[in-house]
């Protein structure tokens, strides 16, 4: 059942990754729509929001997978 635990964690990580990337992009786009006039500034705001969402998802998933796969630990 360690394979099942890994599959469960992996599915949860993919779900978290996609969800946070979408939420970050939407929140950055909304902030860009409210705060900026130019298209380039709005795109930068969306990209920044997506980067924050993806980064937080990566951090959480790496911690969760580290519990199951000890070889991922940094030495």
pLDDT band at 4 (very low <50, low <70, confident <90, very high): confident
Q: pTM of the full predicted structure?
A: 0.78
For 27-41, how does the pLDDT look when each residue is reduced to its tens digit (9 = 90+)? 999 999 999 888 899
pLDDT band at 5 (very low <50, low <70, confident <90, very high): confident
**Per-residue tokens: 52:** 């924050």
d(C-alpha 21, C-alpha 13), whole Å: 12
Considering the chain, what percentage of its residues have pLDDT values greater than 90?
A: 61
What Å distances lie between residue 70 and 6, 10, 36, 59, 65, CA to CA? Answer: 12, 15, 45, 16, 8
């Amino acid at each position: 059942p360690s394979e099942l635990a890994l599959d469960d964690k992996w599915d949860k990580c993919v779900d978290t990754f996609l969800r946070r990337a979408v939420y970050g992009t939407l929140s950055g786009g909304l902030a860009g729509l409210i705060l900026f006039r130019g298209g380039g500034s709005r795109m930068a705001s969306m990209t920044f929001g997506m980067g924050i969402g993806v980064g937080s998802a990566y951090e959480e998933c790496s911690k969760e997978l580290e519990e199951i796969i000890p070889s991922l630990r940094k030495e």
